[in-house]
Amino acid sequence: MQEVLSIRIPKLLKEKIRKYKDVDWKRYVIEAIENKIKQLEAEKNLKRDRRNKDIESSKIPAWKIMREDRDASHRFKHLCKCLKTNSMKNAENTQTNRHLI
């Protein structure tokens, strides 16, 4: 199935096209559009491939990164727990000291 594509072109260009009746302008325009689309798709694929190459080029295995992330998370939670415990002890000591005064 085909669709209609209408474009406006300069009058001088239209006059020059009329001079060359032996050229299949419809076929020429279709091929030009197809070639441009191929070029754009190739550029898009190249950009995608470059992004994927950057991702794949990691020398550290994914399991190691995940383990380090998990371990860091556990260390952070432990630190928060220790800080909370120390802060509660400090609060108790402060209350005890006030009680003595």
Cα angle at 56 between 40 and 42, to 5 degrees? 10
Angstrom distance (rounded) from CA 76 to CA 80: 6
Kindly state the average pLDDT of the residues 75-92: 73
Q: State the virtual CA torsion across 36, 37, 43, 48 in degrees, nearest 10.
A: 170
5-62 pLDDT, tens digit each: 999 999 999 999 999 999 999 999 999 999 999 999 999 988 887 777 666 556 777 7
Judge if pTM exceeds 0.75.
no
Per-residue model confidence (pLDDT) at position 29: 96
More confident position, 82 or 31: 31
Angstrom distance (rounded) from CA 59 to CA 57: 6
